[in-house]
Amino acid sequence: MKRVIAIYPGSFDPPTHGHLDLIARGSKIFDQLIVAILRNPEKGPLFTLPERRRMLEILTEEFKNVEVDTFDGLMVDYAAKVKAGAVLRGIRAISDYEYELQMALMNRKLRPDLETVFMMPAEQYSYLSSRLVREIAQLGGSVQGLVPELVEQRLREKLDPAIKLEHARESKPRGR
């Protein structure tokens, strides 16, 4: 029987409940789902690639058919490399549609045998985005309920200078 491998590409800076909701849905319909983080240093991400990868690995541990990987270059080339037949993308509101349609059709032009599958996250996440989470956290607002606790904690560590300083002290070798 044919096994369908799908990739779920994105920046995941940081992963949100919306991403995890989509991963849970995708893991039910695909035999294997690869969460593929784009290496995008030019975007100046808040979290480094290894940080995002580690968070996603921990957060997706419960899904046995989900793995996490990174890619650069064209998404369609990465999909071909891992033998994926489908790309999973989330559509939250009609405002997502135009950009997603353009990207899906362009990807189809580049690789006609790769199907884009759109899924809707649960409606309570329809207004949620990594960009807004970053902005709220950077301005000192609460992101509780928007991201998993692990991500909340990592955001605090990243943005609170006091916690940062404490970690730096802890990781310094003790005086001789």
- Annotated catalytic sites, by residue? 19, 43, 92, 130
Q: Which residues contact 22 (CB under 8 A, 6 or more apart)?
A: 8, 88, 90, 119, 121
Toward ligand PNS, which CB reaches closer, 9 or 14?
Answer: 9
Q: What share of the chain is helix, strand, coil (3-state, %, to 5)?
A: 50, 20, 35
- 146: burial class by Cβ within 10 Å (0-12, 13-18, 19+)? buried
**Contact mark string toward ligand PNS, 45..84, x via CB under 6 A:** -----------------------------xx---------
* Contact flag: residue 18 with ligand PNS (CB under 6 A): no
Estimate to the nearest angstrom the gap between the alpha carbon of 22 and the chain centroid: 10
* Contact flag: residue 9 with ligand PNS (CB under 6 A): yes
Q: Which of 103, 120, 150, 159 is close enough to bind ligand PNS by CB under 6 A?
A: 103
* Contact flag: residue 128 with ligand PNS (CB under 6 A): no
